[in-house]
């Protein structure tokens, strides 16, 4: 069972002590998921910061208040990026510039974040537009997005200086006066670092380990045949070996929680159920990826959520396609239609990959 020992998040510019020498902080985000959790761990002679929030004027002002208040004006020794997404790496470079902080990340996360920060686009690329079209994005929305300036990492991520310390699977690292085992997760982001304390019951989970929301598993034009759902399911199985009921999980969003073994099973079962629903429906009639929204999400998807829903729908399609359960069976207005490879619904359900 999942329990949340700290029912209220820290106030803006404030902190909640979740363990000796471990502060839970929160930064705002200008989107539906309106916050990101970050953590400050006391090193004795300064702090280690895990994740940072976006690089915005407001975020920098909040960090200024945090540094003068809960962080007591002490130096930032190191910053850790759990994964490459901008709400987690936005101010890593800023802390490197201001404090000479050491940066710890996986190589894949660092390379991806730095590449995306340098790759600024004025309009969507032809590959992006083609990807959206084949997934079934409505024509009016497609035209609008094709003409608009897309989201760029550089909008909210401070330039990342060259130089970092690489995190790899199985590493033992020391910060916050604890030793931590590094375990990598995949699916939500490649080489997403999680940290498992060897000295107490803390686990820093980033977006790989969340209590009440599901991390987005998305396919993008950069790797249109990717299978993040398969990577996610494999990661949940592998991380479950490390999971205990008593561990306190410090997640990237929402509330810290206990009950990780149950949560890993729950997240796995949720994706299996979605794959089964999708397979059964495609055995009746072919659909585009966008046409699968109702099956996967069971709620209305608005314009603000449409992009994340599209990439997750493609991810589930890709997983079934790679398993040989479905295949492309035609097109509708240049969008790919997907259907089962043959056989009865019951037989297909048995083939749905675990």
**Got the DSSP string for 232-243?**
HHHHHHHHTTT-
Q: What values do phi and psi take at 298, rounded to 5?
A: 55, 35
Distance CA 138, CA 140 (A): 6
Please state which of the four CATH numbers 1.10.10, 1.10.246, 3.40.190, 3.30.450 is assigned to the domain occupying 275-351.
1.10.10
Domain boundaries, the chain: 16-122+151-267, 275-351
Q: What is the pLDDT of residues 47-94, one digit of tens each?
A: 999 999 999 999 999 999 999 999 999 999 999 999 999 999 999 999
Please report the pLDDT score of residue 343 as a whole number. Answer: 52
Q: What is the pLDDT of residues 283-295, one digit of tens each?
A: 999 999 999 999 9
Q: Do domains 16-122+151-267 and 275-351 have the same CATH topology?
A: no
CA–CA distances in Å: residue 164 to residues 100, 338, 351: 12, 43, 44
Instruction: Provide the 10 A C-beta neighbour count for residue 101.
Output: 22
Model confidence at 353, in pLDDT bands (50, 70, 90)? very low
Please report the pLDDT score of residue 235 as a whole number. Answer: 98
Instruction: Identify the H or E element spanning 272.
Output: helix 260-284
Please report the pLDDT score of residue 167 as a whole number. Answer: 98
Model confidence at 299, in pLDDT bands (50, 70, 90)? confident
Q: What is the mean pLDDT of residues 253-282?
A: 97
**Fold designation for 16-122+151-267:** Metallo-beta-lactamase; Chain A (3.60.15)
pTM: 0.94
Instruction: Tell whether the model's pLDDT for residue 344 goes beyond 50.
Output: no
Residues of the chain above pLDDT 90, percent? 93
- The whole-chain average pLDDT of the chain stands at 95
Helix (H/G/I), strand (E/B), else coil: 188: coil
């Amino acid at each position: 069972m999942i329990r949340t020992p700290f029912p209220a998040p820290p106030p803006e510019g404030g902190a909640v002590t979740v363990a000796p020498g471990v502060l839970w902080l929160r930064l705002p985000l200008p989107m539906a998921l309106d916050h990101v959790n970050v953590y400050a761990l006391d090193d004795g002679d300064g702090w280690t910061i895990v994740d940072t929030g976006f690089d915005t004027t407001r975020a920098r002002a909040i960090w200024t208040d945090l540094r003068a208040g809960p962080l007591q004006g002490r130096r930032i020794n190191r910053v850790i990026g759990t994964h490459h997404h901008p709400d987690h790496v936005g101010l890593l470079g800023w802390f490197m510039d201001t404090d000479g902080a050491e940066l710890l990340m996986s190589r894949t996360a660092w390379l991806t974040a730095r590449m995306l920060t340098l790759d600024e686009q004025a309009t969507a690329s032809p590959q992006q537009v083609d990807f959206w079209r084949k997934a079934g994005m409505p024509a009016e929305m497609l035209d609008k997005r094709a003409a608009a300036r897309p989201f760029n990492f550089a909008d909210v991520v401070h330039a990342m200086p060259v130089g970092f310390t690489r995190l790899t699977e199985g590493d033992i690292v020391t910060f916050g006066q604890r030793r931590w085992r590094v375990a990598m997760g995949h699916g939500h982001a490649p080489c997403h670092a999680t940290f498992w304390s060897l000295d107490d019951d803390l686990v820093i989970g980033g977006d790989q380990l969340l209590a009440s929301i599901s991390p987005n598993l998305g396919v993008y034009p950069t790797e249109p045949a990717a299978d993040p759902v398969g990577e996610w399911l494999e990661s949940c199985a592998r991380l479950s070996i490390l999971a205990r009921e008593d561990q306190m999980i410090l997640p990237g969003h929402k509330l810290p929680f206990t009950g990780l073994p149950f949560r890993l099973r729950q997240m796995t079962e949720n994706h299996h159920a979605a794959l089964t629903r999708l397979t059964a429906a495609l055995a009746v009639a072919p659909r585009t990826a966008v046409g699968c929204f109702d099956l996967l999400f069971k709620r209305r998807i608005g314009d603000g959520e449409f992009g994340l829903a599209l990439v997750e729908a493609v991810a589930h399609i890709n997983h079934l396609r790679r398993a040989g359960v479905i295949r492309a069976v035609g097109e509708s207005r240049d969008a790919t239609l997907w259907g089962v490879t043959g056989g009865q619904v019951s037989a297909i359900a048995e083939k749905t990959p675990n």
